[in-house]
Structure 1
Amino acid sequence: VGFVGAGGVNFGSPEGPWDHASRLETLNGICFTGIADPFVEFANKQLRKRQDNSDESKAQKWAECVVVDSFRKLIGLDGPRMVDVVFIGLPPSSHGSIYEPNNIEILCAKQGVHMFIEKPLSVSPPKELERVNQIIIESGVIVAVGYMLRYSAAVEKALELLQGKKAVCVNAKYNAAYSRIHKKEWWSVRTSGGPVVEQATHFADLIRYIAGEVDLSSVQAVSVPASASIAAQLSEMPPPPGGEHNVPQNERIPRCTSANFKFKSGAIGTLTHALLLHDQRYFTEIDIWADGIRVMIQDPYYDPKLIVRREHNNNEEEIQVPSIATGDDMYLKEVVTFIDAIHKNDPSAIRSPYADSVQSYLLTHTIRTRAEQFESKL
């Protein structure tokens, strides 16, 4: 196994409990052979932390791992191939393209290297992702995308409760805690794609997973841009050089975006994303309405629970479901599913294959574009 990118999504950060290395090093039959990152010194620090782990069974998995300055060295384009699998955890502006140097997925596919790709897939025009998908299909490599909420116990239980029903309305709300998001790239629309593409993509994907495809022609969206007087100065912006301090004004991300749309099934939906909360904990919920039943998924990241009103009933009930802290590690489940698919040469159990994830990108890209178009008219 190799890593493309030595940052938080692969090796951990203060933002939250998500990183792939910590899950992978608990699995049998895994050894780590390379980390590719142009910031070699930083990548070596990440590697040394893993090699110095007091848990010897984990530390030894890193014993032969080396740091290289380019993913090309991992996949055999510059020297012997070092990996069977890569975990791609890069800013979206650095991968997912058909053009060099950001055509990482295409080159991995052509080299026969399986890929776990973190969302979002890119900031490139959707047509480019469709071409990437075609090359992946032709190569036969196994690819999963990091939409971990599809593996959560809360979502699994919600789908069980909705079995035999068709969603009529889905309302999703996502308010991020921004004060610990230090990466300058995240605060730039040019490098992150904006918060709907970069972050709310999890809920855009979950909306599709629950209610089916959205009719993109129906999407309407508005936003509160960074230049708006009511939200221009976020009071807990991370200090320089992080946050948006060094991001040009015209590239700063919107503070809130709200979209409404119609599903191809005839159902309707809304998605609202904001970055207005302080500290670490997000506010997240998805409310699904169908004939005779309402299911709300609350706080699926940290402390998930379901609020349910069943058929022929006036009362709501609260259903507790396991969280990461109580044994339901959706990040681990998505990784185990991916590794098992490679061992079996059967990707059918992967809940977020590349082709499906392209559709989530199309939805978020459309929401962002429609909001920008509306703002440009004002």
Structure 2
Amino acid sequence: MHFRSFIPRFAPRFAQLRGLRNWMVQSRARTVSVIGLSSVVGLSTWASVRPRHSMLLHARSFDGEAAGSMGSANASNKGSKLPHISVYQYETCPFCSKFRAFLDYYGIEYEKVEVHPVFKREIWFSSYKKVPIMVAGETQVNDSSFMVSVVRTAMLLDGDINKSLEMYPELPEEAESERANKYNIMYGNTEDIDSRSEERRWRRWVDDKLIHVLAPNIYSTPRQSLQAFQYITEVSNFNTFERYLAKYIGAFTMYFIAKHLRKKYEIQSDVRQAIYGCVNVWMKGIGKKRMFLGGDKPNLADLAVYGVLSATEGLDTFDDVMKNTKALKWYQGVQYHVRNHTGAPPSSNN
């Protein structure tokens, strides 16, 4: 009797305690998620540790419900017969920047969808969770380099993305080697075999060499790491709580992860010299007689290198590279062509 008489008396307090406990559990989970976010943001946005076997093709068609949720999937692309293109991305990801540079150069209109680095609600429809992801019409294609090849080939096939995809047979899921023709453009002729081979070789070099020196440079010191996360958190779709934790915990975490990446990819201890060396190798490949690797205009390799380096604009890494290599004139030249869409086909309205 006495015990039961206490229950109503203390029930409100018990409810408060349960509420406090639930709040603490949720807060702890939230904090753990954001601490995890710190490394996810750094690694995902700069994408320097992506294994090659994870870059296989994942292409599929959406059903009506999925396609409808993405807006005007049936809209025609201005200046071409390509379908409406949505790019699911991180603004600071070099792979994403590389693909955007390609689209911008060719004047291809597209919708950018910024993906939350942890929750990834924007790509709920995809089993593949890396970015960038392209949805062209009702077809999803992954991997930035492969996306470039598929779209460029489609441009030569009256904008038919699915017909373009048929030219790139899909490898088994368990295969660890990337597709042999991922960097190929199916031009349908044998003209300029040497220049096409050179273009493919340098596009592969961007993914195999240049990308890997970014993170060790961007996060080389605590100050530079904080500088990078200041920008990352400004352009990512975080709330205030996530932004604060991601900025400081992320900067601290990536400073140490960058050191691990330097050892993993056997990059010299002076990481600045490593990236200078990569850029100088690129400029030597262009040579003194060409403005771009593509000659008078950028080719796909020019756009790939430009796109990756443009992801570091506003950071000390970018400023140092431009000051200590001969890439500035080339970079500004590609930037001009990209921003003015000089690769765009003539408008059908003209």
Shorter-normalised TM range: under 0.3
Which one has the bigger helix percentage?
Answer: 2
TM-score by length of 2: 0.27
Structure having greater relative contact order (Cα 8 Å, sep ≥ 6) = 2
Q: Which has the higher strand share?
A: 1
TM-score under structure 1 normalisation?
Answer: 0.26
